Amino acid sequence: MEVLMSNWSNVVQSLPEKYVFPPEKRPGKDVFPVVNDVPVIDLETAEGHGRGEIVHQILHACQQFGFFQVINHGVPISLMDDTMNVLKEFFGKLLVRIQLKWVRSYCLDFGCISEGLGLKLGYFDGELSKIQLLSVNHHIPCPNPSLTLGMPEHCDPNLISMLQQCPIPGLQVFHQGQWMNVDPMPNAFVVIPGLQLKVISNGKFSSPIHRVMTHPKEGRTTMGTFLIPSHGMLIHPPHHDPLYRAFTYQEFFTTFTKNNCDADFALEYFKNKT
Ligand code: OGA
Ligand code: NI
């Protein structure tokens, strides 16, 4: 019998051993609260009279909350829906993780973030966001979500990540000392500052720790756009008292991946020692 990945959990009654996480890394059977105050920033007037206020909201969201969602971002809703539908159809038949480099994406207005940090307009254009990686994650239904994770806890090492979630919950952030669900919001992108933004903001922004739970009945698809500095780009906080020494993104990424993707370790490694 042909087993489509979408039917996998109907066929496989318990999670195969190799996917079971060690006890201390399992999410467990807790019921996780929902973060219901994720800042939602409406970009409708970002190009016009609302810009100052939007810059302020983004700065506030990054500093006080760690991440945010955007609506009225300029990507047509029909395009978001069509893309998600195509991906669902695709993953209904197959299980893979695809990564496409150099995809021209609709560019959200990161001018607002550079302005909020007091940097010149266009600071994030060019080498700092040279690579736009479109990465699609699909997690099939899992008979035992308490024993495993779709994606283990991590910080994104890049500059900025944007996620389009499908309507199935699964994304969690470590917020106020506990894991909480970031429920999908229709037509929104979740914007997650990566570790490079933490460095460039000289520690003003942090990069949220997040992970992905699996769902017992439904497959879950997320489309992420990851802005990644070109590998040879020299990164350093444009600040008179920089917390971090200059490094290339390549150096950072290698240090990060060679040390279990431990964000604290990588950040500490590149700290200026006084
Ligand atoms: C990632 C990520 C979240 C998701 O790819 O870095 O955190 O919901 N994805 O798939
Ligand atoms: Ni991530």
DSSP letters for 182-202: ----TT-EEEEE-HHHHHHTT
Q: Is 223 in the pocket of ligand 1 (CB under 6 A)?
A: no
Domain membership of residue 1 (yes or no) is no
- Rounded CA-CA distance 249/178 in Å is 30
**CATH number of the CATH domain containing 58:** 2.60.120.330
Atom of ligand 1 nearest to the CA of 210: 7
Domain membership of residue 56 (yes or no) is yes
Q: Please tell me the predicted confidence (pLDDT) of residue 112.
A: 66
**Ligand 2 centre from 254 Cα, in Å?**
17
Confidence of residue 106 (pLDDT cuts 50, 70, 90): very low
Q: Please tell me the predicted confidence (pLDDT) of residue 179.
A: 97
Interval 107-155: pLDDT, tens: 455 666 877 787 887 788 778 888 888 888 988 888 899 999 999 999 9
Q: Please tell me the predicted confidence (pLDDT) of residue 89.
A: 83
The answer for 260, left when phi > 0, alpha when psi is -120 to 50, beta otherwise, is: left
| Residue numbers of the domain that contains 189 | 30-269
**Ligand 2 centre from 209 Cα, in Å?**
8
Q: Please tell me the predicted confidence (pLDDT) of residue 103.
A: 38
CA atoms within 13 A on the CB side of 263: 17
Which residues, 6 or more positions from 53, have their beta carbon under 8 angstroms from its beta carbon?
Answer: none
Q: Please tell me the predicted confidence (pLDDT) of residue 70.
A: 96
Higher per-residue pLDDT: 157 or 106: 157
Domain membership of residue 3 (yes or no) is no
**Ligand 2 centre from 226 Cα, in Å?**
9
Domain membership of residue 207 (yes or no) is yes
- Would you say 120 and 111 are in contact if contact means Cβ atoms under 8 Å apart? no
- Would you say 239 and 257 are in contact if contact means Cβ atoms under 8 Å apart? no
- Rounded CA-CA distance 126/123 in Å is 8
Domain membership of residue 215 (yes or no) is yes
Domain total in the chain: 1
Q: Is it the case that residue 268 has pLDDT exceeding 80?
A: yes
Domain membership of residue 15 (yes or no) is no
Domain membership of residue 71 (yes or no) is yes
Domain membership of residue 16 (yes or no) is no
